[in-house]
Structure 1
Amino acid sequence: MTKELARRIAVTIGALLLFRLGAHVLLPGLRPGDWLTGSPLVAGAITRLSIVALHLVPYLSAAIIVQLIAMVWGRLSSLERSGERGRRRIARYTLILTLVIASFQAYGIASTLTTIPNVVPVPDDWFVLSATASMVGGVFLLVWLSELITRHGIGNGLALVLSVSILVHVPGDVAGILELLRSGQISGNLALTHAVFWIVLVALVVFVEGARRNVRVEFAERKVGERTLPARSAVLPIKINSAGYLVPTTVAPWFLFLPLAFLTYIFGADALWIAAAYKQLQLGSLGHVIIGSVAVFVLAFIYTSYVVDPEHTAESLAKQGGAIPGVAPGEATADYLDRVVSLTTVVGAVYLTALQLIPEIFEPYGIGLPYSMVINGGAVLIVVCTILDLLNQVRDLSLTNPGGERR
């Protein structure tokens, strides 16, 4: 292990320890004994109200909204691709939107706490202000820690913080399942079936995330400055899952509930057909399964078309003297890449939809175990991808000299 790698690992561990420490610091104005007279459900919820209670949700929401705007507004999209200066402006817009979303969510939580008996000793405006400021500050603390890990740690700090927040629930879930086994409330075959299922799922995620559709590219001999680059062959790798997980699965529920929220505002929540529609769109219901699956599938295509732009790729290849054998440069290359990406995305979209359906299948049919709400197919995807990226980062840092040159 090189000194540089050891330093980066130390920075990463320190940042993650700060994150976990913040998760145990209660909001100002709350004391552990104040809610002991309440129900266990209320007590359990309140004990999770730390200064980082909002986690990275406002930041991720802001980033997704900015990306969606960039997909339909060419000026913002071009700004994102204009270089480091443009990316800094995008990051600034994202942080401003994060502040707005976090403030709104934090104020809502703080205001609600003042209405629950035996929770806040002095439920006044000062508590609401201090709790709101603490939660908003917690969000920006996590954003800063994520950026610290990305710049000075082992990289990909956002995914690493998300993965740690998921993994901390695993020991408690395992302990709960073992207790149910000991008391005879579930069978050993059910627990074994779940264990095999998650092992197979992890293997599938590793396989799909590592899979690539390689398009062969030939580069002609060309002169760059005083250097002459010889003709060479290369491949253009296209991921099976180019859309990732967060954008399709985060935006998909908007297709379910935003129209209902709009109709509720117009017709009122007392309308019988509104109540029936909400019932038919609950987790595990047929309506939720069908609409949610179609939304994730379609969004995977839409977001992939934004991430992998065939026209931009074809233009870049032409500028660098590259061509796909048997395909004319320019529009023909863009059309060929569009077909390849579309066919590849079909597999990726089915894969994402299947991961999103795991909790929907487990719960309604009585084959679920008492996992925490964060343990699902998406959590497996996030953790596995983070670990794979972590291994690549560590390997690259191990093969890099202090001057930045590979050995």
Structure 2
Amino acid sequence: MGAQSLSFSAEHKVRLSIFALGILPYLSAAIVVRLLSLVWQRLSSIERSGERGRRKISGYTLILTLAFSTFQAYGYASTIQSIPALVSDPDEWSVLAATVSIVGGVFVLIWLSEQITRHGIGNGLALLLSVNFLVSVPRDIAGIASLLESGQISGNLVLFHAVFWIAVVALIVFVEGARRNVGVEFAERKIGDRLLPARSAVLPVKINSAGFLVPATVAPWILFLPLAGLTYVFGADAPWIAAAYRQLQFGALAHVVLGSIAVFVLAFVYTANVVDPEYTAKSLAQRNGTIPGVAAGDATADYLDRVVSLTTVVGAVYLTALQLIPEVFELYGIGLPYSMIVNGGGALVVVGTALDIKTQVRDVSLTNPGGVRR
């Protein structure tokens, strides 16, 4: 029992802390609120109503985070009570204490991410997510080196993966920095006593405006929530239910195909909210801005919609390919036993965070003498 307890402590020590849930409940709540804003016009209007609206959205997100984290923490705490080596005298108060502690840990991380965003360099939430991905890399490399030394995997396979991930990172850097620039002309206008001269500018459209977290997080919900509902109605013993779950296992062909379709479609849906052609056309009209050769108003909105749609095709294919990396490895049996955390999505989050920090550091260096942030 002592050896078993020691092994459990060594491998899962990080899980037995007040930060057991990490920042994921907050991330899930933020995604749910974002999805609701896509289908609920009132919530979308609140989000776009300025600083006061953003504070309201933040409040809604925190309330939902409290609900998610409490539910998960209670299940986690209840499971811990069933392990005698961890809890010698389990009771209701110990479950309550563990639940409150874990929920408190989630909100400490939320506070920390906000402080990093406000006073530091980079986005605090993205930094915490990146750390969550990066901490598994040294352990995975050590495990692969051990298997290579024992002859359980070939050196050629390890070399292939090393070259592959270098190419993936290079692709992410290229795509995340790519823009489709739409030329815009602003006419001369007067604001108060100031006369703003006519000028030219560009409206940049990102290749990947959808990011990764929303499409990748919501895609499994689309696949498994309906199946979970059918399981509740017909029971898990139904043969066709069991067959559906087998076909939707990670690495199965049906999961690869349906998951790819879900990510591709969600990239379009989310981009339509992030880059709203009608809203952009109205903003340009209010500032006397026009796209050369395109009439103001509906014609501008239609033109921007075509540009964003064509650009999003490339971005959606790119996101789908990143999502498929571990499943393709599993399907063809060419994977290595590294953590599932190390995948295309994790690489995108880490590289995107690094690029964001680089941009902010450069801006600080250019705007403040000596690069000192003020």
Output the TM-score relative to the length of structure 1.
0.88
Cα distance per residue 1:145-202 (max 9 Å; x no partner): 1000000111311101111111111111111111111111111111110000000000
> Which structure 2 segments of 5+ residues have no match?
none
Question: What is the alpha-carbon distance in structure 1 between the residues aligned to residue 360 and residue 261 of structure 2?
Answer: 35
The one-letter amino acid paired with 1:87 is R
Q: Is the 8 A contact 1:209 1:239 kept in 2?
A: yes
Residues 234-245 of structure 1: pairs in structure 2 closer than 5 A = 234-245=201-212
Q: Is the 8 A contact 2:122 2:353 kept in 1?
A: no
In the alignment, which residue of structure 2 is the partner of 1:253? Answer: 220
2:332 partner SS: coil
Question: What is the alpha-carbon distance in structure 1 between the residues aligned to residue 56 and residue 181 of structure 2?
Answer: 34
In the alignment, which residue of structure 1 is the partner of 2:123? Answer: 156
In the alignment, which residue of structure 2 is the partner of 1:86? Answer: 53
1:363 partner SS: helix
Question: What is the alpha-carbon distance in structure 1 between the residues aligned to residue 114 and residue 287 of structure 2?
Answer: 33
* Equivalent residue in structure 1 for 2:345, among 367, 372, 378: 378
1:128 corresponds to 2:102: no
Question: What is the alpha-carbon distance in structure 2 between the residues aligned to residue 132 and residue 70 of structure 1?
Answer: 30
1:233 corresponds to 2:233: no
* Equivalent residue in structure 2 for 1:49, among 7, 12, 16: 16
1:399 partner SS: helix
CA 1:249–1:295: 2 relative to 1, 3 Å: same
Q: Is the 8 A contact 2:185 2:199 kept in 1?
A: yes
Q: Is the 8 A contact 2:18 2:102 kept in 1?
A: yes
The one-letter amino acid paired with 2:367 is T
User: C-alpha displacement at 1:41, in angstroms?
Assistant: 6.8
Question: What is the alpha-carbon distance in structure 1 between the residues aligned to residue 89 and residue 3 of structure 2?
Answer: 16
Cα distance per residue 1:61-100 (max 9 Å; x no partner): 1001101111111111010000000000100010010000
1:189 corresponds to 2:156: yes
In the alignment, which residue of structure 2 is the partner of 1:111? Answer: 78
Q: Is the 8 A contact 2:46 2:53 kept in 1?
A: yes
1:167 corresponds to 2:139: no
In the alignment, which residue of structure 2 is the partner of 1:25? Answer: none
Percent identical among aligned pairs is: 72
Question: What is the alpha-carbon distance in structure 2 between the residues aligned to residue 336 and residue 53 of structure 1?
Answer: 48
The one-letter amino acid paired with 1:299 is L
In the alignment, which residue of structure 2 is the partner of 1:31? Answer: none
Q: Is the 8 A contact 1:212 1:238 kept in 2?
A: yes
Root mean square deviation, CA, Å:
2.0
Equivalences, count: 373
Q: Is the 8 A contact 1:106 1:135 kept in 2?
A: yes
1:357 corresponds to 2:316: no
User: C-alpha displacement at 1:36, in angstroms?
Assistant: 4.2
Residues 252-401 of structure 1: pairs in structure 2 closer than 5 A = 252-401=219-368
Q: Is the 8 A contact 1:256 1:292 kept in 2?
A: yes
1:144 corresponds to 2:138: no
The one-letter amino acid paired with 1:380 is A
In the alignment, which residue of structure 1 is the partner of 2:27? Answer: 60
Question: What is the alpha-carbon distance in structure 1 between the residues aligned to residue 189 and residue 206 of structure 2?
Answer: 29
User: C-alpha displacement at 1:378, in angstroms?
Assistant: 0.1
Q: Is the 8 A contact 1:150 1:157 kept in 2?
A: yes
1:72 corresponds to 2:39: yes
User: C-alpha displacement at 1:39, in angstroms?
Assistant: 9.8
User: C-alpha displacement at 1:43, in angstroms?
Assistant: 6.8
Cα distance per residue 1:291-316 (max 9 Å; x no partner): 10000000000000000000000000
Q: Is the 8 A contact 1:212 1:237 kept in 2?
A: yes
Question: What is the alpha-carbon distance in structure 2 between the residues aligned to residue 124 and residue 275 of structure 1?
Answer: 37
User: C-alpha displacement at 1:49, in angstroms?
Assistant: 2.1
> Which structure 1 segments of 5+ residues have no match?
1-33
Output the TM-score relative to the length of structure 2.
0.96
In the alignment, which residue of structure 2 is the partner of 1:8? Answer: none
Question: What is the alpha-carbon distance in structure 1 between the residues aligned to residue 153 and residue 11 of structure 2?
Answer: 24
